Structure 1
Amino acid sequence: MKSSESKTMQQDLFANDNGWREIPDFIISREGKRVNTASDSWNLPYAIDTSSSKLDFSKIPNENLKWVLKSFIIEKIEKVSTHAGLQHFQDIWVKFFRNNIEAMNSAQDIEETLISVVENAINLSRAEHKLWTLYRPVQWYLYGAEYYPELGFSTAYASILETMSIPGNPKGEAVRMEDPDTGPLNHSLELPLLIQALKKDQSKEFEHLQEKAAVALSIAYGRNPANLTYLRHSDLVNLTPESDDPVYVLRIPRIKKRLLNPRDDYIEEFLDPAFAEYIHDLIKANNETNTVLYHEGKKLPNPQPIFLNIKGNEAAILSGDYENAYNFSSSMITSLIKGFVRRHNIISPLTKEPMYVTARRLRYTLATGLAAEGISKAALARILDHTDTQHVHVYFELAGKIVIQLDKAIAKGFLNRTGFVGDHFS
């Protein structure tokens, strides 16, 4: 019998002796997806981020701590979301395990060693003014102390941790600081260069069509990349098909924690015909690729995503989430935007270097522009698909600073009254 199998059997016996739940061979996520948990390698049905959708517990040699971590992650996946399970695993690994594997594995007193690991993480995070990054790791320790103190978690130390105030993730710092590489694009000097390049680009290459669609939709709506990954051909609707003056709406899936499926809810947004043309071109190209994916000899049905992943979404396929097998990941949307800027060699007049553009920066750009034009907080929250107004205050803090920029831009026809592209797409 292999040593790993022997250890797993010991853990199961240990669980039975204490009346604990064994690690099952599979679980059902809150979204209703099956997750195979029989081994130390879990492929999560999380098509948004394929680079980190695999949880590798084999990196943790201490079987007791591994067992508690698995139990904790299972609870998050089952009760909260797959995304929550992924984030908790990543944060706990980085803050507690990554640099302490040897110490944890060879420790004579695991309780003392684990406390030392947590204390060191707290001190480092305080020194870096990033104490908020410890929220999820600390929750894991508290979980271990409550349910499995026999495995090295101190209930006395946990009571101390519970009194520690951990701040929330600081929001809007890139916006507030007007960082030239992470904050909003300058509305009169940088954004027009991106728009001009988009208008002049006549390439019909498949990837270039994807680039243009990603840039256009990010400028128009400022949505997170995840929203774009779930778009399908059927989401672009012409409300006046018999008219020479079409009126388009785009049904944008909402990415919200309370939803079991990202496509359970939509927001319908009007889409300028100039933007719609980029989507039409891409849909036509998608249909001409005749992309067909197979898994274990079976053809996977293609739900026709607007951003078609011709190589297949590895995370979705490995986890059996075939509905999203053809979807892009969020990082691929960002790569398209960066690729467009790189292909056109767009140089920022501010940094004198290639302009750094991401979907998040374009989201900031749209939001600050609309705030400067006098939009209400409630309306801006709706446009950015926030459930309330607490996350949009930072954009109004900068509004006064960029009003002059916008006035100049409007005079030159860079933007129309809605904050979307004006004369550049006429």
Structure 2
Amino acid sequence: MQPNVILSNERLATATFKFSDAEIVYDPYPVSQSGQQLDLTQGKCRLNPERLLLNFDLIPPILREHVKAWVAFACKKYANVTVLNQFNLLKTFVLTGNLNSEVDIRVQIDEQTRDYMESDNPCVGKSVLRTIYGWYVEEGFPFFDEDFFDFYLDTLRFGSDEGKGKDVIMEMANRGPLTTREQRLFREAMSEIDPEELSIIELQGMVALKLGQVLGARDIQVIKLKFADLGINDDKTPYINLPRAKQRGHRNNNQRKKRVITKALFELIESLRSRYSTQLNRPVEAAHFILCNMTTKRGGMPVNLRLRPPTFFLRRRAIQVRLALDFTVTNRRLRKTFCTQLIAKGTPLKVVAELMDHTDLQQLEVYYRHTHHVAKKLDEVLNSAASDVLDAFQGKMISPEKVSQSGQQIFAPTKDQLLHQIGSCGSKTPCRLNPPLSCYGCKSLEAFDDADHKAVVEHFVEETKQTFGEGHAIEILKHEDFLAATQFLRMLERGEI
């Protein structure tokens, strides 16, 4: 049963139905949040720049104008990916059998809505469906029952999806912030890769992960970046204009925030630009996407088209294979790690919100609760996540008279604030470490067997806790220098050295 659709001179679409006096009126040419003017008079519509397809022919004819009206409303308020997800939810409705009255249609819609609400579906989907149903009721659209919404849908309480937010406050494999061990292995694996040996697709994946590591950027923020966003300040520090994301309204989502980046990240992006230029045999324009599509012909040529989420996943997966890690690294995990570290260092909430591109401070509270959970004793942390830092003490235990290099004594303070000689350096080259704490992880250390090494390390730990607070010091105490020193003490107490 097809509705009767009329397009007026005012560019409004009006749909009327055989079994109902109510009608649907909507703008068939809305402007989406990305600034694209849609044409909803056609059977299909593609949302740009993501090129997401809305195929209205998949919607039952009796509900097709309902869905188009919702798209006309939602595209101005939500991101294109969100609109597609809402469309996919609505296309699950199927109307069958004899539809001889408005009641027949309404009953089928309500039954399928109730089945969805009472099935084991995600809470987010249930909330979205209730919102759409409520909007249809509010607009007076046919076939949607006000009583069904008021006395059933509006009384439901969904809570949140299982595990949602828990990956921040407890360790969940491959979901939450990177653990101490994972952070170290990830840094080491990334540093061992030569970008010149990577394919363009692998290099794109590496750039994506570095942006997540340095800036805590979301997937969509990385995807939106162009070479025009890259620059150098007057003081020679590189920066990038990071697009905002998940902001309501077209104007807000087109804003960018200037963020300082590392020189290494700047050079990595420039190397990607150089690879594009070599492939194209011409300079790459500023408007070119940093992460772009590649053709399947002629050996893979860069095409200035924005990546879609599935393609972005393949880029990240390509570099993941090269990293050869036994855990998953995603921009989402790197973003959580970035935020957790900011808060663990005592960064004010407003500053964290600014860096994380959050307008709602309440969303960050879970990370602050996380700080309380990780404020454990140092030995508990060392015995679990960081126990593999050192398998054995690499230096030597000697008596003071057996030093190999004279005049290279190492001194350290204890709680009495006096300097004590803890050993000597056996290296003949200039030191690049941060003595005395970092000496415990150095193979050149000649530790004196009569020194109170335990008092020295305990003093450094207590000093750190007093300076940064019990909760925020935990991230600093995970540093390899502290880990190596504590490992040294454990081996000393067990008589292994």
For the superposition of Structure 1 and Structure 2, which TM-score range results when normalised by the shorter chain?
0.7 to 0.9
Letter in 1 for 2:193: D
Aligned length: 361
Match of 2:332 among 360, 363, 377: 360
Q: How does 1:304-343 map to 2 (within 5 A)?
A: 304-311=288-295, 326-343=305-322
Q: Give SS of 1:392's match.
A: helix
Aligned to 1:296: none
Aligned to 1:119: 114
Structure 2 CA distance for partners of 1:16 and 1:407, relative to 1, 3 Å: closer
Letter in 2 for 1:140: I
Aligned to 2:438: none
Contact preservation (8 Å) 2:247, 2:253: no
Contact preservation (8 Å) 2:289, 2:304: no
In 2, Cα distance between equivalents of 1:93 and 1:107 = 20
2:254 pairs with 1:264: yes
Match of 1:221 among 197, 204, 215: 215
Contact preservation (8 Å) 1:134, 1:166: no
Across the aligned residues of Structure 1 and Structure 2, the Cα RMSD in angstroms comes to 3.2
2:222 pairs with 1:200: no
Contact preservation (8 Å) 1:210, 1:282: yes
Q: How does 1:39-54 map to 2 (within 5 A)?
A: 39-47=42-50, 50=51, 53-54=52-53
| Higher normalized strand content (fraction of residues) | 2
Q: Give SS of 1:34's match.
A: coil
Q: How does 1:239-278 map to 2 (within 5 A)?
A: 239-240=233-234, 246-260=236-250, 264-278=254-268
Q: Which has the higher contact order (CA 8 A, sep 6+)?
A: 1
Return the offset for 1:207.
1.9
In 1, Cα distance between equivalents of 2:359 and 2:321 = 35
In 2, Cα distance between equivalents of 1:56 and 1:307 = 28
Return the offset for 1:218.
0.9
- What per-residue deviation string (whole Å, max 9, x for no partner) do you get for residues 179-210 of structure 1? 11211111x21111111111111142322221
Q: How does 1:137-286 map to 2 (within 5 A)?
A: 137-148=129-140, 150=142, 152-161=143-152, 163-167=154-158, 172-186=165-179, 188-204=180-196, 205-240=199-234, 246-260=236-250, 264-286=254-276
2:65 pairs with 1:34: no
Contact preservation (8 Å) 1:107, 1:113: no
Aligned to 1:383: 355
Letter in 2 for 1:284: S
List alignment gaps of at least 5 residues for structure 2.
Answer: 8-13, 297-302, 382-474, 484-497
Contact preservation (8 Å) 1:68, 1:148: no
Letter in 1 for 2:32: S
In 1, Cα distance between equivalents of 2:281 and 2:239 = 26
Return the offset for 1:220.
0.8
List alignment gaps of at least 5 residues for structure 1.
Answer: 1-6, 293-300, 313-323, 348-354, 415-426
In 2, Cα distance between equivalents of 1:387 and 1:9 = 42
- What per-residue deviation string (whole Å, max 9, x for no partner) do you get for residues 322-381 of structure 1? xx952223443343233212223112xxxxxxx112111111111122222222222221
Contact preservation (8 Å) 2:29, 2:72: no
In 2, Cα distance between equivalents of 1:118 and 1:76 = 20
Return the offset for 1:118.
1.5
Structure 2 CA distance for partners of 1:263 and 1:326, relative to 1, 3 Å: farther
In 2, Cα distance between equivalents of 1:11 and 1:235 = 45
In 2, Cα distance between equivalents of 1:142 and 1:263 = 26
Return the offset for 1:31.
4.1
Structure 2 CA distance for partners of 1:263 and 1:238, relative to 1, 3 Å: farther
Aligned to 2:85: 87
Return the offset for 1:219.
0.7
Q: Give SS of 2:329's match.
A: coil
In 1, Cα distance between equivalents of 2:126 and 2:49 = 23
Contact preservation (8 Å) 2:225, 2:289: yes
Aligned to 2:405: none
In 2, Cα distance between equivalents of 1:375 and 1:222 = 15
Q: Give SS of 1:304's match.
A: coil
In 2, Cα distance between equivalents of 1:74 and 1:168 = 29
2:60 pairs with 1:70: no
| Higher normalized helix content (fraction of residues) | 1
Q: Compare 217-226 and 373-382 and name the one that shifted more.
A: 373-382
Letter in 2 for 1:194: F
Match of 1:393 among 345, 361, 365: 365
Contact preservation (8 Å) 1:209, 1:282: yes
Q: TM-score, normalised by structure 1?
A: 0.74
In 2, Cα distance between equivalents of 1:45 and 1:162 = 33
Return the offset for 1:384.
0.8
